[in-house]
Amino acid sequence: MQYHLPMEQTRNKDNQFALLLKANNERVTSPRLIIFRQLLRGSPIPMAKLRVKSALDGVDTATVYRTIALFTRLGLVQEIGVGSRRLLELTDNFGSHHHHFWCTKCGKIVNFDDNHLEATLDALASRLDISIESHQLEISGICNACQ
Ligand SMILES: [Zn+2]
Ligand SMILES: [Zn+2]
C-alpha cells in the first residue's frame, strides 16, 4: 500500500476513519481504506475517475459503488454538483470546510475557504435567529489561465 500523504496526517485521518466505521459496526477493509485515501487527496472526484483509480489498486467497480454508498450513509462522503458534473468528496467531518470555484472553460476546480464569508453567515444566522447546520456555495466563472 502506498502513502501519498505525510504519515502523521494520514495516521490521524485513518484513526478517525477507523473509529467512525467501528462506531457503526463496520470493518475497516483494505478496499475501504484505499477509497478513503483517494478521497482524502482533496479534489472532488467524479465516480468514473474514482473507479479507474481504485481499479489500479485492485478494487473492482461493484466494491467502489458499495463503498461509496456506505460512506454516504455514514456521512463521510457527499456528492456535489459542479455545473452539470456530479463529484464526490469527503464531507466537512473529514475534509476541511471549503467552497468550490470551477472554470466554465477548462473545467478546473479550485477549493477555497474564506473567513469573511463564514463570519457573514454567522451574522446572518444571528439576524434571522436561525441555527445553520450546513451550507454549500459553488462559484463558476473563468479562471486566471483562461482569461
Ligand atoms: Zn480555466
Ligand atoms: Zn462556508
Look at residue 10 in the predicted model and tell me its pLDDT.
65
Inform me whether the pLDDT recorded for 112 exceeds 50.
Answer: yes
Q: Do 36 and 17 contact (CB within 8 A), yes or no? A: yes
**Residue whose C-alpha cell reads 473492482 in the numeric block:** 60
For the chain, percent helix, then strand, then coil, each to nearest 5? 45, 20, 35
Inform me whether the pLDDT recorded for 43 exceeds 70.
Answer: yes
Look at residue 2 in the predicted model and tell me its pLDDT.
38
More confident: 2 or 145: 145
User: If you measure from the C-alpha of residue 24 to the centroid of ligand 1, how many angstroms do you get, rounded to a whole number?
Assistant: 41
Of the listed ligands, the closest to the CA of 122 is: 2
Of the listed ligands, the closest to the CA of 135 is: 2
Burial 105-122 (b: 16+ CB within 10 A, else e): eeeebeeeeeeeeeeeee
